[in-house]
Structure 1
Amino acid sequence: MKTSRRRVRGPLLAVLLTLGLSLSATPASAFPGSPGPATPDIVDSTEHGGRTVALTFDDGPNPEDTPELLDVLRRHRVRAVFCLQGDQVQRHPGIARRIAREGHTLCNHSMYHGDMGDWSEEEIRADLLETDAAIREAVPFARIPYFRAPYGSWGRSPGVAADLGMQPLGWSLAVEDWVPPGTDELVRRVEEGVGPGAVVLLHDGGGDRSQTVEAVARVVPELRSAGWRFTLPARRG
């Protein structure tokens, strides 16, 4: 997990803030992928609970591991949420397009993975708008129904994200794959930690995520055989 705190400054900040003011006057339901008004409540479960689980992946796209992860998910017919980092989308737009093309849900995960805990609403809005623009440059008219704060450091971001039509997306199970503990350990953490309606935090970017890919390839069929169904997080808090 990176610790960059780069912020938008100067003329670009002014432009984004102007755009943000016009967007904030638009009903949240007018945004692509937002059938109703988003709320500031942080979602950390699936819609219906029970033996359902949602897989979410942060910090990508990553050319070393994301394509292989996509292969695994396609093979097992699982749809997931990819929390995309804006600068990574700019570096690897083709992978972002593949994520969307294969039916996965997109999530705004900030532009540079900065800690927003003490940012002003204006700074957060500028960053989220810049990230949305980067995603939609790669994937025109992309639906971006969720926002996830880097490090889970939410600060004022839930309200800003909701104003922009994005539901804040948390998690109920973090397996800490950002410090690779070995594939067997990741599998154990998921299988022992998963509960009804779990939203699982994993990573496809930010470092070597080959262990995560291998763990997902094992966990998905094992959970399915145990009666679990893969779905998406709730759309509203």
Structure 2
Amino acid sequence: MLSVLTIGLTCGIAAPAHAKATADLVTTTGRAGKTVALTFDDGPDPDNTPALLEVLHKYQVKAVFCLVGDQARNHPDLVRRIVLHGHTLCNHSMHHDDLGDWSAADIRADLLEASKAIREAVPGARIPYFRAPYGSWGQSPQVAADLGMQPLGWTVEVADWEQPGTSELVRRLNEQLTPGAVVLLHDGIGDRSQTVQAVDQVIPRWQAQDWIFTRPARPVQPSMIVLRLG
């Protein structure tokens, strides 16, 4: 007679399912080898975001867009374009405030409002990540996790808000790139044309060097498979 035994595995026999979000900051792709994830904060912006989307489309690269609720509400068409291009959404707070010393209740209200603003443009949109403005986390990681969003950090940050010049941004990106890196860049709140131009230069170079563009890691729960034993 055959018996059925169900066990949990973390290997790649079956496609893993995403587990509940945790309060741990994700700062890597979670994949071995030459992998990198591009993330863009503070948009959507009517000038920079369309230009960036064209660059990413040209090279068939997907990224994470960390959206500010105010910006999403002002530019719902751009939120829809981001989703239609196959990119991943991230909640970046409602007004881009420093949440570092806020109460958990106030943070929760802010994040819920920001997610609502995003979903006004794209009803039912999946928002798997949250990133705190200024990297000032306070109690927000646990609040975000309770709302189903994984706190998203970074490993590469090139201070593109300084507008040091496209060539300098390219140099910084090449210098800091490491396997599994999550790259922090910006497409909103100011002139980000240098960032767009830098991305247009580094993507083909990294692709030629066999780098794979992917998304930041998410917690994974063991896959459940059934073994039939004689």
TM range (shorter): 0.7 to 0.9
Equivalent residue, structure 1, for 2:48: 65
Deviation at 1:227, TM superposition (A): 1.6
Alpha-carbon contact 2:18-2:219 (below 8 Å) kept: no
Residue 149 (str. 1) matches residue 132 (str. 2)? yes
Larger helix proportion, structure 1 or 2? 1
- Secondary structure at the counterpart of residue 233 of structure 1: coil
2:179 maps to which of 193, 196, 211: 196
Match of 1:165 in 2: 148
Give the TM-score normalised by the residue count of structure 2: 0.87
Once the 2 structures are TM-superposed, how far is the Cα of residue 179 of structure 1 from its aligned partner? 1.1
Query: Rg: which structure is higher?
Result: 2
2:98 equivalent in structure 1: 115
Q: 1:133 aligns with which of 116, 121, 133?
A: 116
- Give the counterpart of 2:76 among 81, 84, 93: 93
Q: Could you list the runs of 5+ residues in structure 1 that have no partner in the other structure?
A: 1-33
Q: CA RMSD in A?
A: 1.1
Structure 1 partner of 2:10: none
| Alignment of structure 1 residues 39-54 onto 2, 5 Å | 39-54=22-37
Partner amino acid, structure 1, of 2:148 = G
Whole-angstrom distance in 1 between the partners of 2:113 and 2:18:
22
Q: Which has the bigger relative contact order, CA under 8 A and spacing at least 6? A: 2
**Distance in 1 separating the partners of 2:81 and 2:47:** 14
CA distance in 2 between partners of 1:181 and 1:42 (Å): 28
* Whole-Å separation in 2 of the counterparts to 1:74 and 1:57: 15
* Partner-residue secondary structure (3-state), 2:183: strand
Give % identity.
65
1: distance between equivalents of 2:105 and 2:214? Answer: 34
Equivalent residue number for residue 15 of structure 1: none
After superposition, the C-alpha distances for 1:5-29 in whole angstroms (9 at most, x for unaligned) are xxxxxxxxxxxxxxxxxxxxxxxxx
Secondary structure of the 1:161 match is helix
TM-score by length of 1: 0.85
Which segments of structure 1 move beyond 2 Å, counting only runs of 4 or more? none
Deviation larger for 47-56 or 192-201: 47-56
